[in-house]
Amino acid sequence: MPKKIQWDQSFSVGHSGIDEQHKQLISACNDLVDCLVYPSLASREHFLHILDYLRIYADHHFRYEEDLLTAKQYPALESQHASHQDYVKQISEILHLAKKGKEEKQRLYAYLGKWWVEHILHDDMQYKDYVK
């Protein structure tokens, strides 16, 4: 069974708005764990809602982050944008399959949890000095 992600200061990029958005996204990933632990019809509906939230809120977060990085003239913005686009594509495909009942919840959590942790700790840390 996957474990919930514990937010700590190592996830902070030094910008309160982005850090708060990251906390919300990690919290949603952690909500998926509850869906794995309590697989009832209600949690299936909740599971689909969480996936949709991870798609919609991530899109909002990515726009916010990219606007900030554009304003700060972050030199690796193109790479950051490509990573964001890859996530949007993946989460859209995941949501599409989940709505058809073809999801593998543990695999999905593993992908989403890993993606966010790696994205924050690797990709986003690259711009930390630009957004402080």
Question: Structural domain boundaries of the chain?
Answer: 16-131
In this prediction, residue 41 has a pLDDT band, given cuts at 50, 70 and 90, of low
Nearest to 25 by CA among 119, 126, 127: 119
Q: What was the pLDDT predicted at 97?
A: 87
Averaged pLDDT score across all residues of the chain: 91
What proportion of the chain, given as a percentage, has pLDDT over 70?
98
- pTM for this one? 0.92
Contact between residue 18 and residue 124 where contact means Cβ atoms under 8 Å apart: yes
**Closest to 48 measured CA to CA, from 85, 90, 102:** 102
Tell me which residue of 109, 99, 91, 88 sits closest to 48, measured CA to CA: 99
3 state SS of 2: coil
* Average of per-residue pLDDT across 11-31: 96
Topology of domain 16-131 in CATH is Four Helix Bundle (Hemerythrin (Met), subunit A) (1.20.120)
Residue 45 has pLDDT above 90, yes or no: no
How far apart, in Å, do the first and last CA atoms of the chain sit? 37
| Interval 69-112: pLDDT, tens | 999 999 999 999 999 999 999 999 888 888 888 877 777 888 89
Residue 109 has a pLDDT of 83
For residue 1, the model assigns a pLDDT of: 67
